[in-house]
Amino acid sequence: MGSALRIGVMGAGAIGCYVGGCLAAEGADVVFVGRERTKKELEASGLVLSDLHGNTGRVVSKDRIGVFTKASALADCDVVLCCVKSAQTAEVGAELAEVLAPGTIVASLQNGVRNADVLRESLGKHIVLGGIVGFNVVSKGAGTLRRATSGPLVLERAFDDPRIDALVALLAAARLDPSLVADIRPLQYSKLVMNLNNAAGALSDRPTVELLSVEGYRRILRAVMAEALAVLRAAKIPTGRLGPLPTRMLPFLLGLPAPLFRVLASAQIKIDPSARSSMWEDISKNRPTEVDYLNGEIVRAAAECGARAPLNERIVELVHEAERAQRGSPALSPEALWSALNE
Ligand SMILES: NC(=O)c1ccc[n+]([C@@H]2O[C@H](COP(=O)([O-])OP(=O)(O)OC[C@H]3O[C@@H](n4cnc5c(N)ncnc54)[C@H](OP(=O)(O)O)[C@@H]3O)[C@@H](O)[C@H]2O)c1
């Protein structure tokens, strides 16, 4: 493909390596910043990317990949994709502020609703765009990554800038289904509501497909999402639509009888059996999770508008208990999870 745009990935993990890798596989100029272990892994194996749509064999060979461990490697980038977990955003924002030229575009490809604002606090001389990765990526080790669900990649069109259009053209050529929206907030809240599933995946140790196929887990997801949507309504925070159905319809979808649910859910999102939330991966690897930025965001919104979110509050507690226990997922059955949520 080739392009004058130099793209940096800050945080070479599942999303950074997948999105950056798809761009690099199409010939874009991409430079990755990650940890020493990732640098070693990518320099030994390169990247091998596949997706549930049957695209296989997208490869970035190890001699074509530039991986560094310091943000200074991104100094001459036109666009930087911020792909770290939410707890690391402030630190990374400060690192980028030290090295990026004023006016560089920094796009947050993170979950949660605050990361772009956190970046803006350090990157006042730069252009920060909110973004949403609507699909799941599973890391299989040795540079092998699989996109395991359908879903768009959305960026905020903060204002007209030819670099934003050039980035979108590269993302489209890399088959990442990009779109630009003037107001990203409602879609960020839609993604937040969908991400409330992540904790159930982490606490149950079930892949997403299994979680959705077991009625007892669907009942939990439905209750947690319905609570969140009621809080957002009370707080006058609108949601949007990240698939054919508006987000406010998701509890209704989850409550349908199984055969009808299967048909309508597959129109909403395609899910590969390998799909697992990144919160599941964090719990399995005994790492801190993003639960405070997902279910915790609903708890905060409730507190701010005088509402309550007891199910989401319990989810936050249960995930923190699992983090503290350092024994991976507690693998709760639907019955055990339901009763833990209602204790
Ligand atoms: N995975 C998905 O399917 C998915 C889908 C949509 C959105 N998201 C969102 O995308 C964001 C990234 O998720 P992810 O799953 O890609 O996370 P990840 O696999 O943990 O990747 C982030 C990587 O960045 C590294 N990192 C953090 N701070 C760094 C620094 N200062 N310098 C160099 N490297 C640094 C991390 O290393 P350490 O682990 O050592 O800190 C980690 O390797 C999250 O907000 C997530 O919610 C994920």
Segment 74-99 shows an average pLDDT of 98
By DSSP bridging, strand 131-133 and strand 153-156 are: antiparallel
Residue type present at position 159: F
Per DSSP, the residues of 101-151 read PTT-EEEE--SSSSHHHHHHHH-TTSEEE-EEE-S-EEE-STTEEEE-B--
CA distance 159 to 72: 27
State the DSSP code for 75. T
Mutate to test the pocket of ligand 1, among 47, 51, 84, 184 (most ligand atoms within 8 A of CB): 84
Ligand 1 atom with minimal separation from the 71 CA: 32
CA distance 129 to 195: 20
Residue type present at position 266: S
Give the chain's count of helices (H) and strands (E). 15, 13
Q: Whose CA is nearest to atom 6 of ligand 1?
A: 133
CA distance 150 to 77: 29
State the DSSP code for 242. S
Cβ burial of 62 (10 Å; 0-12, 13-18, 19+) is middle
What is the SS3 assignment for 255? coil
Report the percent of the chain where pLDDT is more than 90: 92
Q: Tell me, what's the pLDDT at 1? A: 45
CA distance 205 to 330: 7
Q: Tell me, what's the pLDDT at 3? A: 54
By DSSP bridging, strand 105-108 and strand 79-82 are: parallel
Task: Give 268's pLDDT tier (boundaries 50, 70, 90).
Answer: confident
Q: Tell me, what's the pLDDT at 325? A: 97
What is the SS3 assignment for 32? strand
CA distance 41 to 236: 46
Q: Tell me, what's the pLDDT at 164? A: 95
Over 70: is that where the pLDDT of 335 sits? Answer: yes
Long-range contacts of 134-138 (CB under 8 A, 24+ apart): 134/191, 134/242, 136/208, 136/271, 136/275, 136/276, 136/277, 136/278, 137/14, 137/15, 137/18, 138/14, 138/274, 138/275, 138/276, 138/281
Residues with CB under 6 A from ligand 1: 11, 13-16, 33-35, 38, 83-86, 88, 91-92, 95, 109-111, 133, 136-137, 278, 290
What is the SS3 assignment for 154? strand
Q: Tell me, what's the pLDDT at 160? A: 87
Is the pLDDT higher at 83 or at 64? 83
CA–centroid distance, residue 301 to ligand 1 (Å): 25
Q: How many CB atoms are located within 10 Å of the residue 86 CB?
A: 21
Segment 149-168 shows an average pLDDT of 93
CA distance 205 to 280: 7
pLDDT per residue over 10-46, tens digit each?
999 999 999 999 999 999 999 999 999 999 999 999 9
Ligand 1 atom with minimal separation from the 294 CA: 47
pLDDT per residue over 292-317, tens digit each?
999 999 999 999 999 999 999 999 99
Over 90: is that where the pLDDT of 56 sits? Answer: no
Q: Whose CA is nearest to atom 5 of ligand 1?
A: 136
Structure tokens at 199: 């904790």
Distances (CA, A) of 304 to 64, 195, 234, 241, 301: 49, 21, 10, 24, 5
Cβ burial of 102 (10 Å; 0-12, 13-18, 19+) is exposed
Mutate to test the pocket of ligand 1, among 17, 32, 35 (most ligand atoms within 8 A of CB): 35
Segment 123-144 shows an average pLDDT of 95
Contact 248, 239 (CB under 8 A): yes
Domains of the chain: 6-182 (3.40.50.720), 188-341 (1.10.1040.10)
Over 50: is that where the pLDDT of 2 sits? Answer: no
> What's the mean pLDDT when you consider all of the chain?
95
Q: Whose CA is nearest to atom 45 of ligand 1?
A: 110
Structure tokens at 130: 């909110």
Segment 315-335 shows an average pLDDT of 97
